Amino acid sequence: MSHSGSSHVGIEPKGLTSCPHGFDPAAFSGFSYLLGPPAAAQRSKLGNDPAAAHQLLAALSKALPGAGNYWPAALDGGLTHDDNPGIPSGYTYLLQLVAHDLVQTTVPFWAAAQLGLGSRNMRSSPLLLDTLYGGGPNTAPTAYRMMGYTTADRTHLRIGRFRSATTGMMAQSEECPFRDLARINLDAMDYLRGSDDLKACDSLEHCRNLDTAKHVQPANFDDPFVTCVADPRSDDNLVLAQLVVLFARAHEAIVAQLTGARPEAMFGFAQLAMQRLYHAIIEHDLLPRLLHPDILASLRDRSANDECWLWRTEGAPLEFTHGVFRIGHAMVRSDYRLNAANALDIGRVLKGDGSWADLHYPLRESWLIEWAQFFDLPGGVTPNFARRFSPTQSALDVAGLFQSNDPEQPASLSLRDMLSAALARTWSVDALIDRMLAHTVNPLPPGWAWCNAGKRRAAIGDWLSTRCKAGELDDAKIEVLAVDPPLPLFVLLEAALDDKIAGRHLGPLGSVIVGEVIGRSIARQRQQLAAAECAAWAAFDPEFWSEIEAIKAMPDLIAFVQRQAGCETPPTAGT
């Protein structure tokens, strides 16, 4: 669910106008297809011409209903019509963490196809918490805290203190300070804070031009703002950043149980324990909220080598990475209560108050998250809920939220998602469903109306004609999209147009694709980690290991961190 993109302006390829831009499978490594490479007739046709795809999908993204008030009635009394009571909003950001752990694309597909570039997935081994660990202290040393004299002694992840509302300075130990990602901000205004020269320093540029002989510069590069994390996407927004810190504090609590062991053992065994609880949370808490119950039941207890798996290749399937898994953007709310005292709209959740420097200051106390606002915890607090799945614009499609200096970069996140899916040249919806229906073990539920291509196309065409904004889509565009819908739109349509689902969870096709990829990835990792986990089990006190084994949901993890480290409820703070 990363939202990053190019920001270059005025760069044009020289002498390449005759080169055939488009999708070249050989240029996109680390990816695969759900059902093996499709034949030409089985691919979505939307991406045959990148320019035409951009034009068609830009019209579609403008035509989609707005992000609010899609549903005529609420699912539960006291909730807004868009609220999904089965998915508290913390799972939106857990899903983003999982997405980052599955995919790290070097070049966005929509840009790669336009420019004739390749792209690759940097996550060769998915779902190992690499977004937290980055391969370990040797490969991501800045993400770790030095506990001794060598790299091997970096057994703890680096985390930082929040900014006290009382003093304006770093929170002290009695304030339960470690709630932020670790940040370095060598802004000259901060460096000179408290000095006599600050009174005469009326601008950042003025501060930087002060006598360097008197004031040794703390950095030799401009705008020295750095967040010390293994994956920079962990700082994409306030909620994800604090969720990553929650996982880091769980790691710290586990490491604390191994005092006296060799540093390599402390880190390695704690990492294995974290991977175990992470996989359990995904299997027992996240997937049951996302998947169609029939599909979820069919995936239970499958081994890594079970012949029922449809996805049997290496590399994350494009139908998943650039198709179905963009659902996280549809779950994002327009606003969030962070704690009992404070709420922020989605723009401030992503960008703070809009100042680039402010984003990189330590976290404000008023922005600390009370996890009862994001997950079902004891105490009677009703959490923020994720949005129901609906074929609408995302709450992230707010004007200006993803502005760039690059005039070719789509400003709409919905357009980026659909364009990336089209240009990935995945299996078409028709071909996916036909192949699944023909499979020896057909995963689609019996009686699913959309197994019939005619009914499916008629329903999509009718929706495009009646629910989308008039004047954006003509009959020719509607006919193309009804026959060959982009996967990110299709999975929202199948979830919304089925009255039995009504946006509560994914429909059958979306559930098959998500369940296959995440389910098989976890099964394979559990198989490969089994021997090492046996050694980790022997290193811990049996009662403590039982605590690890008992963590199967996010409330369990939060309670574990509260018991072991405390301070998970933020102090009351004003804005």
131 and 106 belong to one structural domain: yes
429 falls within a domain:
yes
State the pTM of this model: 0.89
pLDDT digits (tens, 9 = 90+) for 38-82: 999 999 999 899 889 999 999 999 999 999 889 999 999 889 999
Residues 293 and 201 both lie in one domain: no
- Tell me, yes or no, whether 169 and 201 share the same domain: no
Same domain, 392 and 452: yes
Q: What's the CATH code of the domain at 279?
A: 1.10.640
Task: Give the count of domains, the chain.
Answer: 2
Per-residue pLDDT, 567: 63
Report the DSSP beta bridge partners of residue 343: 337
Structural domain contains residue 263: yes
Q: For residue 511, tell me if it sits in a domain.
A: yes
Same domain, 455 and 574: yes
Answer yes or no: do 214 and 175 share one domain: no
**Residue 177 and residue 198 share a domain:** no
Nearest alpha-carbon partner for 88 in 510, 571, 570, 554: 554
User: Exposed (0-12), middle (13-18) or buried (19+): which is 37, by Cβ within 10 Å?
Assistant: exposed
Asked if residue 280 is part of any domain, the answer here is yes
Taking only the tens place, the pLDDT of each residue in 448-487 is 999 999 999 999 999 999 999 999 999 999 999 999 999 9
Does residue 435 lie in a domain region?
yes
State whether 53 and 126 are in the same domain: yes
Domain that holds residue 163: 21-182+231-575
Give the helix/strand (H/E) hosting 152: none
Q: 């009174």: which residue's tokens?
A: 199
Give pLDDT, residue 201.
46
Q: So what's the pLDDT on residue 574?
A: 44
CA–CA dist 508, 106 (Å, integer): 31
470 and 507, same domain (yes or no): yes
Tally Cβ neighbours within 10 Å of residue 422. 31
Q: Are 119 and 191 within one domain?
A: no
Q: Is the pLDDT of residue 13 over 60?
A: no
Out of 172, 197, 223, pick the residue that ends a domain: 223
Model confidence at 9, pLDDT cuts 50, 70, 90, reads: very low
Q: Do 204 and 238 share a structural domain?
A: no
User: Would you state the pLDDT for residue 23?
Assistant: 54
CB environment 330-356: b (16+ within 10 A), e (fewer): bbbbbebbbbeebebebbbbbbbeeee
CA atoms of 156 and 466, how far apart (whole Å):
55
pLDDT tens, residue by residue, 129-141: 999 999 899 889 8
The reported pLDDT for the residue numbered 8 is 31
Considering the domain boundaries, does residue 14 fall inside one? no
| Percent of the chain surpassing pLDDT 90 | 62
Domain identity same for 165 and 46: yes
> Does 457 fall in a domain?
yes
> Is 397 part of a structural domain of the chain?
yes
CB 162 within 8 A of CB 365: yes
